[in-house]
């Protein structure tokens, strides 16, 4: 399923993830070798996300065929969580909760920003709940209130949209 009317690129700054933007500019993502996980590893600013994916044992799943759309919180997004939240989530006894939070950032299918019309879109996540994506007339985009700061970062098994806040299920 390809739903091209999800996010608008008109006013999205790629300054938050220049390394990811370089991957997007390289062409057709199906010809690229880097999957979603490797794209995040190769980019600056996603160390916390990668560590969380490893702790949750989700790396292999997101290296799978997909396609996936990942709303990827950058390192400052994780740093903005209330004190102790990340440390608590990374504890082995909280793995189920960590998996829930991380899979809430992943939508099956590939949803790109190209040609998006303003509006509100509900997408079901791998976690089972829905995220609300709002595309404003000025081109700004939010996902459950988190701003998309870089959109349409291609990977071999989907697309990444960088967000500035960790979104939590049930909020």
Write out the DSSP string of 99-161.
Answer: HHHHHTTEEESEE--TTPPSEEEEEE-TTSSEEEEEE-TTS-EEETTEEEEEEEEEETTEEEE
Within a domain: 34: yes
Averaged pLDDT score across all residues of the chain: 83
pLDDT tens digits, one per residue of 62-86 = 999 999 999 999 999 999 999 999 9
Instruction: Average the pLDDT over each of 33-42, 113-122, 125-134 and give the range with the smallest value.
Output: 113-122
**Distance between CA atoms of residues 55 and 99, nearest Å:** 9
Within a domain: 171: no
Within a domain: 170: no
8: part of which helix (H) or strand (E)? none
Within a domain: 143: yes
- The answer to whether 140 and 113 have CB atoms below 8 angstroms apart is no
Range of the domain at 132: 2-163
Within a domain: 168: no
Confidence of residue 10 (pLDDT cuts 50, 70, 90): very low
Calculate mean pLDDT across residues 110-131.
90
Calculate mean pLDDT across residues 114-140.
90
- CA atoms within 13 A of residue 131's CA, in its CB half-sphere: 30
Confidence of residue 14 (pLDDT cuts 50, 70, 90): very low
Most confident of 16-25, 27-36, 108-117, 137-146: 137-146
Within a domain: 40: yes
pLDDT tens digits, one per residue of 92-111 = 999 999 999 999 999 999 98
DSSP 3-state of 2? strand
Total domains present in the chain: 1
Residue given tokens 């590893």 in the structure block: 41
Residue 37, domain CATH: 2.30.180.10
Within a domain: 47: yes
Alpha-carbon distances of 20 from 17, 129, 155, 167, rounded to whole Å: 5, 27, 10, 20
Cα angle 72, 63, 35 (rounded to 5 degrees) comes to 70
Within a domain: 169: no
């Amino acid at each position: 399923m390809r739903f091209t009317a999800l996010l608008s690129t008109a006013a999205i700054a790629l300054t938050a993830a220049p390394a990811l933007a370089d991957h997007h500019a390289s062409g057709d993502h199906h010809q690229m070798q880097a999957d979603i996980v490797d794209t995040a590893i190769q980019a600056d600013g996603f160390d916390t996300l990668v560590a969380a994916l490893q702790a949750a044992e989700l790396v292999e799943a997101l290296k799978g065929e997909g396609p996936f759309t990942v709303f990827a919180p950058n390192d400052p997004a994780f740093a903005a969580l209330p004190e102790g939240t990340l440390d608590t989530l990374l504890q082995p006894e909280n793995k189920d909760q960590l998996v829930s939070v991380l899979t809430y950032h992943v939508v099956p299918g590939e949803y790109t920003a190209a040609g998006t019309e303003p509006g509100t879109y509900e997408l079901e996540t791998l976690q089972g709940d829905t995220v609300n994506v709002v595309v404003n007339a000025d081109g700004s985009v939010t996902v459950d209130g988190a701003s998309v700061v870089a959109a349409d970062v291609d990977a071999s098994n989907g697309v990444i949209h960088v967000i500035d806040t960790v979104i939590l299920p049930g909020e």
